[in-house]
A and B are shown apart, each in its own frame.
Chain A
Amino acid sequence: MKTKAFKAALPHTLPICIGFLFLGMSYGFLMRSKGFSFVYPMLMSFFIFAGSMEFVTVNLLLSAFNPLYAFFLTLMVNARHLFYGLSMLERYQNVGWKKLYLIFGMCDESFTINYTVLPPLGVDRGWFMFFVTMLNQIYWVSGATLGALLGYVIHFDTTGIEFVMTALFVVMFIEQWEKTEHHRSALIGVGCTLLCLLLFGSEKFILPAMALIILCFTLDRKKTDKEEK
């Protein structure tokens, strides 16, 4: 049963493999270039297992200690998981103990595969989703560890390498921008954050920006609700 599920899951994860190895390696390499031992990216990629947040955590670790700020930033950056969870409420039912791992490892890519791909007839759904999640996590943790280890042997001037995070988010932004015709959400995100950056300065702008974004969305929803009525 397990072998069958594994064979069904593997091909779906191969495209993710390349991406995760590349991004994971740049994350690990970045951590190493900032002076962290390879143990950090290895454990962080395993336990956090949310790519964007791991990149952001590099910044958090390099700035002043502020756990509360780190907590709220994490909630905001990962708020999309709430939506994934809501979509998976039914699908993760009746899979036994595997449910805990499926929720723990629900990154963007695993969610996308498990949400859109139905395993072929005769393949156990629970094990299929389990292997999709597990393979993706293996790719990511291997990439991060490998990248950090490479950092010990390859030496060059790494000034500016942290831009890999900016580049990643810019590309994600373009992808999302073109997926929808309504750019209001994206513009609210950029607009509120920019405004708060200018108002509060680079140390204290994230929390007000998050509050302002949620406020905008709440008001926006009330308005559209009224228009619909």
Chain B
Amino acid sequence: MTTAQSMITIAVVVLGTMLTRFLPFLIFPEGKTPPRYITYLGTVLPYAVIGLLVVYCLKDAVFSSFHGLPELLAIVCIVVLHKWKRNTLLSIGVGTVIYMVLVQFIF
């Protein structure tokens, strides 16, 4: 990607993000109630999107030579650690280090 292309990509992401933030205020200025379908999507989508993002992160691992085995091992560690300690930053930090050790020294 050239610098110009990077700039455009970033601008598009900013635009999209701002659209999601400003849209409700633009469509429903004062006291108008939004349609139920929209509020419904607003309640269910966040749960689905995190699932989508997890799969998105693993998209290349699935088709790689180990079919995502190091990723799977690291994720299992994160789940166990998170259930046990309930500390978001600890889980993310340790999970990442475990993965880095796995791909650098074992796989």
Q: Which residues of A contact B (CB under 8 A)?
A: 18-19, 22-23, 26, 40, 43-44, 47-50, 52-53, 56-57, 60-62, 64-65, 67, 70-86, 88-89, 92-93, 99, 103-104, 106, 157-161, 163-176, 180, 185-194, 197, 202, 205-206, 209-210, 213-214, 217-218, 221
Contacts and interface: CB of A to CB of B under 8 A. Distances in A.
B53 to A, nearest CB: 5
B8 interface: yes
Interface string B48-81: 1111111111111011000000010011001100
Contacts of A61: 1, 6, 9-10
A189 B25 contact: no
Give the size category of B's interface with A: 35 or more
Nearest to A64: B1
Given A57-B10, A170-B79, A176-B47, A75 B19 contact: yes
A18 B9 contact: no
B34 A86 contact: yes
Interface of B: 1, 5-6, 8-10, 12-25, 28, 30, 34, 37-60, 62-63, 71, 74-75, 78-79, 82-83, 88-89, 91-93, 95-96, 99-100, 102-104
A163 B13 contact: no
A226 to B, nearest CB: 15
B43 to A, nearest CB: 7
Contact of A86 (B5, B22, B24, B83): B24
9 contacts: A26-B96, A71-B16, A79-B45, A86-B38, A157-B100, A164-B92, A173-B50, A176-B47, A189-B48
Contact of A161 (B9, B16, B100): B100
A76 B52 contact: yes
Contact of B56 (A167, A188, A193): A193
Nearest to B5: A65
Given A77-B49, A202-B59, A206-B56, A168 B9 contact: no
